[in-house]
Structure 1
Amino acid sequence: MKSHLRFCLLALLASSHGVNDFIAGWMLGGGMPSATGWDRLPWLAIYAALAFAGQLPVAWIMDRSPRRHPWLIGALATMIGAAATWKISPGTAIILSGVASAFCHVAGGAIALQLPRGERAIGWFSAPGILGLTLGGWLGSTQGPLAGWVALLPVALLMGCLALRDRWPKVEAMGNPIPTPGVDAHDGLMLLILLALTLRSAVWDLVQVARTSDPHLLFAIAASAAFGKVLGGWMISRWPTVRHVSLTLIVACLLLEFARQSIVGLCAGIALLQSTIPASIVLLHRSFATSAARASAYVLGLTVALGGLVIPLRLDITATLLAVAVAAVLLLWWSIRLPQPQPAG
C-alpha cells in the first residue's frame, strides 16, 4: 500500500472516531432539552451500554464479514441519523449515537490494525476520540443543544469513505493460538491484561470526574491522553511485550499517586496510562491470536464499560491506583515466569 493511500485511510479512520465522540459528547454534555443531570443519567447508562458493552456483539458480527469498511460506512450513516433526529427526538438520537459508536470503534480499530504499520495506526486511530468527547461535552454544557451543522461532519467523512471504497484492506486471516502446554496460562495472562485495563479505565474516569470544574485542566488532560495513545502505538511497535505494558502501568500509577498535584506529573501519568490502550489492542491481536475486531472490542469497549462502574461506587482514587499497580505487578511477574507468546500468523 502506498504511503499517501495509507495516510488518507488512517485520516478517515481517526477523523471518524473523533467526530463520533464529538457528537456523542455534545449530546450528553448538557444538550438534553429541559433536562437536569438526574434526567440525563438513564440516557448516559443507555449510551454506555450500547457504545461500550455493545462492542462485543458487534465484533462477533464483524468476524463473520469479509470486509470491515461497510460497517464503518454504516456507522457514519447512523451518526448522520443521530444528528438529524436530535431536535425531533433526543432519546432516539442518543440510541443511534450509541449504536454508531460501537460500530465505529470496532470497525475503525480492526481496519487500523490491518494497515501497514498497524501498531502505530491503532494509536493514531484511538487518539482523537478523547479530544472529540471533551470538546463536545464542553460545547454541550456551554452552548446548549446540538447544532445542525454538526451533521455535515459525518457527511463529509462518508463521502470520503465511499470515494475510497475499493482501497480498504480485506480482513486478514486470524493466526492460530500458540500450540504449547502453556496456552492455558497464556489465556490467564490475557485475562489479567483485561483486568488491569479495566482498573486503568476506572482511574481515568476518577481523574476526569475530579477535574471537571477546571475546563483548561480538562483539555490539558484530554490532550495528554491523546498524545499517550499515539505514544503507545509507537512504543508497542518498538517493544511488543506484556512486560512493557506492565512497567508502563506501574510508572503511570506512581506518577498519578505522588505527582498528580503537579500539572506536569498529572499529564505525564495520564499519557502513560492511556498509552497502554493501543499497546494492549496490538498484544491481544498479534500475540494471543485474537481477531482484530475482538481485540478492539475488549480494550475499547468491555474494559471501559466495566471501569465505568467505579463512578457510582465512589471509590477512592488512591485505592484504585493501588489496585492497578497490584494487577500490573502480577502481570509483570506472570509474564516473566512464562515464555513470551510470539506474534501469531
Structure 2
Amino acid sequence: MKTSKIASCLLVYGFAHALVDASCIVLLLGGIDVRGELLTYVVIYNLLAFGLQLPFGWIVDRIHWPVVSAVLGLGILSVGLMLFIHPIAAIILAGIGNALFHVGGGTVSLNLRPGKAAMPGVFVAQGGIGLFAGGLILKLYGFHPGILALSLLGMGVVVFLIKSPSIIYEIGKEKSVNYLELTILLLLMTICIRSVVGLSVDFTWKTNLPLLVGLTAAIALGKGLGGFLADYFGWIKIAVGGLAISSILLLFGPQVAAAGIMGLFFFNLTMPITLVAISNLLPGRPGFSFGLTTFAVVAGALPTFFKTKVILSTSPVILISIILSAVTLYFGLRLLQSITTKTETIPT
C-alpha cells in the first residue's frame, strides 16, 4: 500500500477505536443502572471485551474477514447502547462488539507494515484516548446513546469502504523458531505484568484535570511512539530501556506528577513491541496473535479488581514487577532472534 493509503486506513481505524472505547466507558459508567454492582459489571465487560478476542481472532484468521469483524463489532456495540435499559444485555453486547472490532482492527493494523511495530502501536494508543474522552463526554454532556450509536454505524460504513491492506494468512514453512512456546510465554508474562502494574499505580494527583490530561497523553504517546522508536533503534533497546527508566520514575510518581507522567510514558513503550513480537512468532495468524495479547491483559487485570490491589499498588511491589517484566521481555526478545528467515530481520 502507498503511504497515503496506509495513513488513511490507520486514521479511520484509529478514530473508530477511540469511538468504540469511548462508547463503552460511557455506557458502563453512565448509561446503565448498576444498582451498586458496578464492579460486577466491570468484570463481566472486561472478561468479554478482552477474553473473547482470542477465540474471535482464531475464527477471523480462518474465515479471513477482519473488516467484517470490525464492522460487525461497531454494529453490535451500537445495539448494546440502545438497550441500556437492560444492563446485562447491554454489557454483553458491548463486550462482544468491542472484542470483534479489536480483532478486526488489530489484524488490519498488523498488516499495514507487516513485521513492524509502528502501525499497531498507533492503532492501540487510541484506546486510552477514547476512554479519557468518554469519561469527559459523560461528565460534560451526559449519556446520549442515540448519538453514539449513529456515530458507530457511520464509522462502520467508513471502515467498510476504506481500502484495507492485503492480509497475510499464509504460514510459511521456511520460518523456524527455537523454543517457540517458551518465547511466547515470556512475552505474555511481560504483557500480564504490564497490565497489573498499569492498573495498580495510584496517583492521587490524577484528580487534577490538567495533570490527568497529561497522564493520558503520555500513555497514548508511549504506545504510539514506542513502535516507531523500536523499529528505528531496536526493540530490546527501547523496550528494556524504557522499562528500566520507568521503574525509577514510578517510584516518585505518587509524590511528583512529572515523574509519574514520564514514568508511564516510558512504561508503555513496550506495548507495540510485545504485540508485534507475538504476531511475528505466529505468522499467518494475526487475529489469534492479537487475541493472545489481550487475554494476557485481562489475566493481569483481574487481581486489581479485588483487595489484592492494595498490595500490588505499593512501591516495592511495583518496582519488583517492572524489573521482572524487563527480565522476561529481554529473554523473550533474545529468543525471538532465533527466528530464521531469508526475507526478514527482527530489529532487536
Q: Give the Å deviation of 1:248.
A: 2.1
Mark the CA change 1:187 to 1:225 in structure 2 (over 3 Å): closer, same or farther. Answer: same
Mark the CA change 1:266 to 1:123 in structure 2 (over 3 Å): closer, same or farther. Answer: same
Q: Secondary structure at the match of 1:63?
A: helix
Distance 1:228 1:49 in 2: 25
Instruction: Pick from 105, 118, 135 the counterpart of residue 108 of structure 1.
Output: 105
Instruction: Pick from 152, 167, 170 the counterpart of residue 171 of structure 1.
Output: 167
TM-score (norm 1): 0.87
Q: Secondary structure at the match of 2:143?
A: coil
| Counterpart contact for 2:197–2:321, Cα < 8 Å | no
RMSD value, Cα: 2.6
**In the alignment, residue 263 of structure 1 is paired with which amino acid?**
A
Mark the CA change 1:335 to 1:130 in structure 2 (over 3 Å): closer, same or farther. Answer: closer
Distance 2:238 2:174 in 1: 21
Cα offsets for 1:67-117 (capped at 9, x unmatched): 31111111111122122222x423322211111111111211111111147
The corresponding residue for 2:14 is 14
Q: Secondary structure at the match of 1:308?
A: helix
Distance 1:199 1:85 in 2: 35
Distance 2:90 2:132 in 1: 19
The corresponding residue for 1:286 is 280
Q: Give the Å deviation of 1:6.
A: 1.8
| Counterpart contact for 2:70–2:100, Cα < 8 Å | yes
Mark the CA change 1:126 to 1:40 in structure 2 (over 3 Å): closer, same or farther. Answer: same
The corresponding residue for 1:198 is 192
The corresponding residue for 2:51 is 53
The corresponding residue for 1:275 is 269
The corresponding residue for 1:304 is 297
Distance 1:260 1:266 in 2: 7
**In the alignment, residue 60 of structure 1 is paired with which amino acid?**
W
Any stretches of 5+ residues in structure 1 without a counterpart? Answer: none
Any stretches of 5+ residues in structure 2 without a counterpart? Answer: 344-348
Mark the CA change 1:323 to 1:66 in structure 2 (over 3 Å): closer, same or farther. Answer: same
Matches within 5 A, 1:114-125: 114-116=111-113, 119-125=117-123
The corresponding residue for 1:151 is 149
Q: Give the Å deviation of 1:163.
A: 2.4
Instruction: Pick from 129, 132, 135 the counterpart of residue 130 of structure 2.
Output: 132
Mark the CA change 1:285 to 1:44 in structure 2 (over 3 Å): closer, same or farther. Answer: same
Matches within 5 A, 1:18-57: 18-33=18-33, 35-36=34-35, 38-57=36-55
Q: Secondary structure at the match of 1:115?
A: coil
Q: Give the Å deviation of 1:253.
A: 1.7
Instruction: Pick from 227, 232, 240 the counterpart of residue 246 of structure 1.
Output: 240
Residues 1:316 and 2:309 are matched in the alignment = no
| Counterpart contact for 2:282–2:289, Cα < 8 Å | no
Matches within 5 A, 1:90-101: 90-101=87-98
Mark the CA change 1:334 to 1:106 in structure 2 (over 3 Å): closer, same or farther. Answer: closer
Distance 1:305 1:209 in 2: 22
Cα offsets for 1:266-307 (capped at 9, x unmatched): 1111112122111111111125547221222222x1122112
Q: Give the Å deviation of 1:177.
A: 7.8
Mark the CA change 1:62 to 1:177 in structure 2 (over 3 Å): closer, same or farther. Answer: farther
Distance 1:170 1:67 in 2: 11
TM-score (norm 2): 0.86
Distance 1:288 1:341 in 2: 14
Distance 1:209 1:43 in 2: 24
Q: Give the Å deviation of 1:169.
A: 2.5
Distance 2:143 2:182 in 1: 46
Residues 1:68 and 2:66 are matched in the alignment = yes
Equivalenced residue count is 335
The corresponding residue for 1:328 is 326
Distance 1:290 1:247 in 2: 30
| Counterpart contact for 1:250–1:329, Cα < 8 Å | no
Cα offsets for 1:123-175 (capped at 9, x unmatched): 111111111112213444565434431122212211212323xx322320234
Once structures 1 and 2 are overlaid, which stretch shifts more, 64-73 or 253-262? 253-262
